[in-house]
């Protein structure tokens, strides 16, 4: 290691000693060796407690969410939107069959539990491009068919 020398030999020797001491101390040792003013301790505790308080308030009151929760909420909303869009198509497909009034009377006479199965077996809740009926669409379609016009 080379050292710069200046005209004052004492200054360069002092610089070398201070530099070597700083290199020898780790970060924790350096922090312990520093003298902090006594008024700084309450300020640090205030910042820590304030950060914890803001975090608690943010997540419980202000509606902050983590990334995973936001992704789950977005997925649920997207699925609900798809069901909302495809339900009228299911109802139209039900009404488009040849004997729709008779099938509607049969549908309304069926137990509430069996109505979803009737919609699924009829194929009206099957999304184009899939083989199996969508249960959420079948439930929404059954609820819409059950309502009076």
The pLDDT value given to residue 26 = 64
Q: Is the pLDDT of residue 111 over 60?
A: yes
Domain boundary among 60, 76, 92: 60
Residue range of the domain that includes 55: 9-60
In a domain? residue 1: no
Pair (32, 14) in one structural domain = yes
Q: Which of 40-44, 53-57, 88-92 has the lowest mean pLDDT?
A: 40-44
Counting other chains too, the contacts that 87-96 makes at CB distance below 8 Å and 24 or more residues apart are 87/137, 87/140, 87/141, 87/144, 88/144, 90/119, 90/124, 90/125, 90/137, 90/138, 90/140, 90/141, 90/144, 91/141, 91/144, 91/145, 93/124, 94/119, 94/122, 94/124, 94/141, 94/145
Residue 3 lies in a domain: no
Average pLDDT on 143-149 reads 83
This model's pTM is above 0.75: no
For residue 4, being part of any structural domain is answered with no
Average pLDDT of span 73-102: 94
Show which of 45, 60, 75 is a domain's final residue: 60
Q: Are residues 101 and 42 in the same domain?
A: no
pLDDT for residue 9 is more than 60: no
The predicted structure's pLDDT at residue 15: 63
């Amino acid at each position: 290691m080379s050292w710069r020398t200046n005209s004052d030999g004492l200054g360069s020797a002092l610089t070398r000693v201070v530099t070597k001491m700083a290199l020898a101390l780790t970060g924790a040792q350096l922090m312990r060796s520093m003298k902090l003013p006594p008024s700084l301790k309450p300020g640090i505790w205030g910042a820590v407690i304030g950060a914890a308080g803001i975090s608690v308030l943010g997540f419980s009151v202000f509606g902050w969410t983590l990334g995973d929760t936001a992704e789950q909420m977005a997925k649920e909303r997207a699925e609900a939107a798809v069901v909302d869009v495809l339900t009228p198509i299911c109802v139209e497909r039900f009404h488009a069959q040849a004997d729709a009034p008779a099938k509607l009377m049969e549908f309304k006479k069926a137990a509430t539990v069996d109505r979803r199965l009737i919609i699924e077996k009829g194929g009206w809740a099957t999304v184009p491009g899939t083989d199996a009926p969508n249960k959420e669409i079948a439930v929404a379609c059954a609820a819409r068919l059950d309502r009076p016009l």
